[in-house]
Amino acid sequence: MREGGSVAKKAIVLLSGGLDSATCMAIAKSEHFELHALSFDYGQRHDVELAAAKRVARFFSAAQHRVIRIDSAAVAGSSLTSSKPVPKNRSMRRIAARIPSTYVPARNTIFLSYALACAEVAGAGDIFIGVNALDYSGYPDCRPEFIAAFERLANLATKAGVEGRRMTIHAPLVNLTKAQIIRRGAALGVDYSITHSCYDPLAGGVACGVCDSCVLRKKGFREAGVEDPTTYGNQRGPRKDRKWFAL
């Protein structure tokens, strides 16, 4: 309920448990949506992120947190869902050079499709996703063009859209750098110590410190001027980029 007794609008928030999705949830909360968190167990090697998602949903007092299981065979071919090695110790130039092996085929399309179905069932007209097209690993389904295209699809392919109850896909981080995302989240009170970003965590879920996601996370905190609360298990970095690995 909003102040004054009015009913808050519902929003489906895609929640991985990472830095970006936690910030996205904070933004949705700041806009007075009733939060319905949606996470996925798709056979990811970094499934400790699901525990982080649970912590984040609890932190923001989400009205609901649903975890949907997807057969990992349906999203095979990625180093996040197979025994292929996760890229590590790469410079920012190499990270940005090409789409990495951690790309999961059509992942955001699949996730948004589930979110769209959940939105119709819940009577929600808003979906939040924390994709980012600046400090990211080059995934094609993190670009603004993709979000705009999916929103058009959402309003063509649903009963709600056809009946004039517009579906809106919110991607508030899409044009922000990682540092800007962290500053925005810090201003909204996000506790980043409860989030998880590492693609290949060590024993106990400790962040490896050298995968692409850890590199981008470290770089973001450093450039934001915000203390990084993450414990990293491996602080070794490529010679040219060693400053990006400083805690």
pLDDT higher than threshold 80 for residue 1: no
Query: What tens digit of pLDDT does each residue of 26-52 get?
Result: 999 999 999 999 999 999 988 899 999
pLDDT higher than threshold 90 for residue 247: no
Residue 127: band (very low, low, confident or very high) from pLDDT cuts 50, 70, 90: very high
Burial class (CB in 10 A: 0-12, 13-18, 19+), 163: exposed
| Fold adopted by 10-196 | Rossmann fold (3.40.50)
Looking at residue 98, what is its pLDDT? 83
Residue for token pair 């973001």: 220
Provide the percentage of residues in the chain whose pLDDT is more than 70.
Answer: 91
The residue type found at 66 is R
What would the mean pLDDT of 134-141 be, rounded to a whole number? 78
pLDDT higher than threshold 80 for residue 20: yes
Provide the percentage of residues in the chain whose pLDDT is more than 90.
Answer: 74
Residue 158: band (very low, low, confident or very high) from pLDDT cuts 50, 70, 90: very high
HEC sequence for the chain: CCCCCCCCCEEEEECCCCHHHHHHHHHHHHCCCEEEEEEEECCCCCCCHHHHHHHHHHHCCCCEEEEEECCHHHHCCCCCCCCCCCCECCCHHHHHHCCCCCCCCCHHHHHHHHHHHHHHHHCCCEEECCCCCCCCCCCHHHCHHHHHHHHHHHHHCCHHHHCCCCCEEECCCCCCCHHHHHHHHHHCCCCHHHCCCCCCCCHHHCECCCEHHHHHHHHHHHHHCCCCCCCECCCCCCHHHHHHHCC
Looking at residue 128, what is its pLDDT? 98
Query: What tens digit of pLDDT does each residue of 63-109 get?
Result: 999 999 998 777 778 998 888 999 999 888 887 778 888 889 999 99
What would the mean pLDDT of 178-194 be, rounded to a whole number? 98
pLDDT higher than threshold 50 for residue 204: yes
Looking at residue 95, what is its pLDDT? 79
pLDDT higher than threshold 90 for residue 243: no
Residue 134: band (very low, low, confident or very high) from pLDDT cuts 50, 70, 90: confident
